[in-house]
Amino acid sequence: MRKFLLFTMLAMLALMPVAWADTVFTSSGAFFAAINGLSITTEDYGTGFFDGEAIPNGFSAHGITYTQFNLTQGATQGDITNKYHSFSGLSLGADHTDLGDIFTFFLGTEGATINFAQPVTAFGMFFNVNLTSGMYGFTYPNGQAFTDSASYDTETFVFVGVVADNPFSSVTFSSTDATIGDYNVPEMIYATGTGVPEPSSILLLGTSVLGMFGVVRRRMQR
């Protein structure tokens, strides 16, 4: 009888929503550890792209659609470039040919909005930047995630990512310094699936189960 009651309570708890919280990471190592076990897609622009390729609004590849480039100086679209440091040799920049062929990076405060083919539970990205050049990151329907550029995460890149409570379908990335916040994007990572509950949530569930089981035992012993 006790085993039956305990099994019933565990089954009921399994159906209850677990308290989650969005977690922002400025360490790529910690982010990758947090999304271990999820279905992960990495866009490093090394496959299916070529140097000088234009990325207009509405362009789709590898589960990402670039719905809106938020650019200035007459630029209207993105650009794949090999001019800057990256993981694969190519990265995403902005097509600033209006300023000359060398301007294929995002100017300060510029960026883009991207949509995912299906909602994601985690998203992270690297920015190739100069040190102490401002904040870099993204907004998303649940909030925002930014990192400073006081030190590099990897090579010449800063990183920011989020593991979210509720899945989301879009992000808008940018820098915050209009004067020196120029950058390019060497890699984006997004993931779907369910992660591991926070330790506090697991402890709360365990305590609830033990407490309920203790009440049942006391009642049965009377």
Structure tokens at 126: 């690297």
* Residue 206 pLDDT > 70: no
**What is the mean predicted confidence (pLDDT) over 3-18?**
47
- Domain residues for the domain of 178 are 21-193
Burial of 17 (0-12, 13-18, 19+ CB in 10 A): exposed
Residue 220 one-letter amino acid: M
Label the pairing between strands 157-175 and 78-81. Answer: unpaired
* Helix axis angle, 2-15 to 199-221, nearest 10°: 150
Q: Is residue 104 part of a domain?
A: yes
Q: Is residue 180 part of a domain?
A: yes
Read off the CATH number of the domain in which 54 is found.
2.60.120
pLDDT score at 99: 74
H or E element: which one contains 61?
strand 59-61
Q: Is residue 204 part of a domain?
A: no
**What is the mean predicted confidence (pLDDT) over 109-131?**
97
* Residue 221 pLDDT > 80: no
Q: Is residue 220 part of a domain?
A: no
Q: Is residue 222 part of a domain?
A: no
Gap between the Cα atoms of 49 and 83, Å rounded: 14
CB 77 within 8 A of CB 69: yes
* Residue 195 pLDDT > 70: no
pLDDT in tens, 65-93: 999 999 998 889 999 999 999 999 999 99
Q: Is residue 88 part of a domain?
A: yes
Domain count, the chain: 1
Question: What burial letters (b/e) apply to 76-112, b meaning 16+ CB within 10 Å?
Answer: ebbbbbebbebbeebbbbbbbbeeeeebbbbbbbbbb
Q: Is residue 42 part of a domain?
A: yes
pLDDT in tens, 156-188: 999 999 999 999 999 999 999 999 999 999 999
| Residue 40 CA from chain centroid, whole number | 11
Q: Is residue 10 part of a domain?
A: no
Neighbours of 136 (CB within 10 A): 29
Gap between the Cα atoms of 72 and 21, Å rounded: 35
Composition of the chain by helix, strand, coil, percent to 5 = 20, 40, 40
Instruction: Say what the pTM is.
Output: 0.80
